[in-house]
Amino acid sequence: MSTAGNSAQAQPDIETVRARVDRLFHESEQAAERYNDARLELTELNGDLKSLEADQSRQGDALAGVRSDVRASIIQRYQTGGLGPAGQLLASDSQGFLDDLSTSSTVGELQDSLLADYGTELEAYTIRKDQTQKRRDDIAALQKTLATQKKSADDKLAQAKELLSKLEAKEREAILSRGSDRPIDSSSISASGRAAIAIKYALAQVGDAYVWGAAGPNAFDCSGLTMMAYAQAGVSLPHSSRAQYSSGRHVSKSEMQPGDLVFYYSPISHVGIYLGNGLIVHAANPGAGVKVSSVDEMPFAGAVRPG
């Protein structure tokens, strides 16, 4: 058997390469959408942390105020001869200060309400402090997750590009140019109100690049395109296909109307906008960019009517 024959036999056909590229693009997008999910969670955690830090500061001020009142009470009683040396009760740390008071023979001479208030504020401050530290730890862990998802998306995309680089120009075009190439005029689509505005914006982006994490003006990922399209209509959507699935009323495939969001895969990792007549507009993948495709090009997961 000749070497040339072996080489020809070993060369994968165009359909095999297409399947590999599609799989790598999909895996890259899955990682990218998980990255988007993590970014949303990080934003929420940072908001929680800011609120907790403000609460902790207020609680610290309240704790300091009650502690000052208790100290003043001790010093006053000491000066009037009612207590032993005041310095023995002025522990430098909060818990030590409370312990000193609790074990001292002078407790009975202090105002019960002051001591109770101090214990309450100390407990509240400690809870806030612990919650704040937990949020900081959560954020640190999530930042590591972000880095992992970013690397995963980049690695899969690099593998797909390497496969494509080995093909002839005509073969690359055959893989990347699938979908509807005919221009679609948004005015020809039966939609009104917010849906019409979103469709018009999305169709104007056809031909733009796919870049994961991007939301315009010249590049988008899938959820970035749908988010920006509906933003033009005054509808706020999160930058995540999974999160967008909870952004409105769920409709069946047979009930879909132009403007509905269409979701794909399980777990959900892709979203487009339904145009009617069995078509969607979406940021497809890094090879195809924003394009018009069949609604059945990917495994259907559900549809949502935003707003």
188 within 8 A of 219, measured Cβ to Cβ: no
**What is the number of H-type helices and E-type strands within the chain?**
8, 8
- Catalytic residue flag (residue 270): yes
Q: Check: CB of residue 15 under 8 Å from CB of residue 175.
A: no
Catalytic residue among 26, 239, 250, 270: 270
Sign of the four-CA dihedral 19, 275, 225, 287: positive
Would you tell me how many other CB atoms lie within 10 Å of the CB of residue 46? 13
250 is catalytic: no
In the sheet that 300-306 helps form, which strands lie side by side, from edge to edge?
248-251, 300-306, 261-264, 270-276, 279-283, 290-294
- Is 26 among the catalytic positions? no
Residue 270: which of 19, 22, 40, 32 has the closest Cα? 32
Contact 238, 247 (CB under 8 A): yes
Beta bridge partners of 283: 290
Tokens of 179: 């979908």
- Which of 26, 239, 250, 282 is catalytic? The answer is 282
Catalytically annotated residues: 222, 270, 282
